A and B are shown apart, each in its own frame.
Chain A
Amino acid sequence: MAVEVRLPTVLRSHAGGASVATVDGATVGEVLAKLVAEHPGMAGQVLTDDGALHKFVNVYVDDDDVRYLQGLNTPVKDGAEVSILPAVAGG
């Protein structure tokens, strides 16, 4: 499935400044792995070395946070919008 991935500002420099990338994948995990493979500068910021979702990002498929769905196994339909958003926190 080809999906549009919206990129947070912090990752855009690794995609040539683009705010959206079109990536193929059947699940969120596949889409993200492909995204990082195509844009190696993003390595370590989206997925951890173990392949888990990095704690500094939240990923949505359309309006749903994948952490409340099937995480990286959440399926994505053709034309879905995947948004990678920063997890912003501090003290």
Chain B
Amino acid sequence: MQMVAHCLAGLPDEACGLLVGSYGADEVAHLFPTSNAAASAMVYEIDPKDMLKVDRAAQELGADIMGVFHSHTHTDAYPSPTDVAQATDPGWHYVLVSLREAHPVVRSYGIVDGRITEEPVEVPSLEVPGLDLGPERDLGRATGL
């Protein structure tokens, strides 16, 4: 899927992007991959120029920025202390893509006042033969591969 592809393409650095749709809703209508202005394997920063472009694009679409995704290159798909400290919007979805293992893991969280709550994620357009994908499952390892 586009988000995982953007994260893989960003290696060895963390990759990031914005989720656009209805603020507070569960469904992401549009995905906008962005540059990681920090260009680092440890931290990310949505390039402010990309943020401006996405804000304008969202406005044209009659939608809002409703979340952000970024990758962890060597750690799990769980918000780091830095992620929590910089999570300023209690209404956003914070999606993490872990590239630690051979198969990417995607998880989503709400972060409110420093409290992390995991949300179920559906990855509808990813097809990997031999894997049974339901919501909230790791993409995991396929046996025999």
Interface on A for B, CB 8 Å cutoff? 6, 8-10, 12, 19, 45, 56, 58, 60, 63, 65, 83, 85-91
Contact = CB atoms under 8 A, between A and B. Distances in A.
Given A88-B18, A89-B45, 8 more contacts: A8-B89, A9-B65, A10-B91, A85-B51, A88-B45, A89-B38, A89-B44, A91-B42
A45 B88 CA distance: 9
B52 A85 contact: yes
Nearest to B79: A90
B83 A86 contact: no
B52 A60 contact: yes
Contacts of B82: 90-91
B6 interface: no
Question: From DSSP, what is the main secondary structure of chain B's interface residues?
Answer: mixed
B89 A89 contact: no
Interface string B22-61: 0100000000000000100011111011011001000100
B125 to A, nearest CB: 25
Contact of B55 (A45, A85, A87): A85
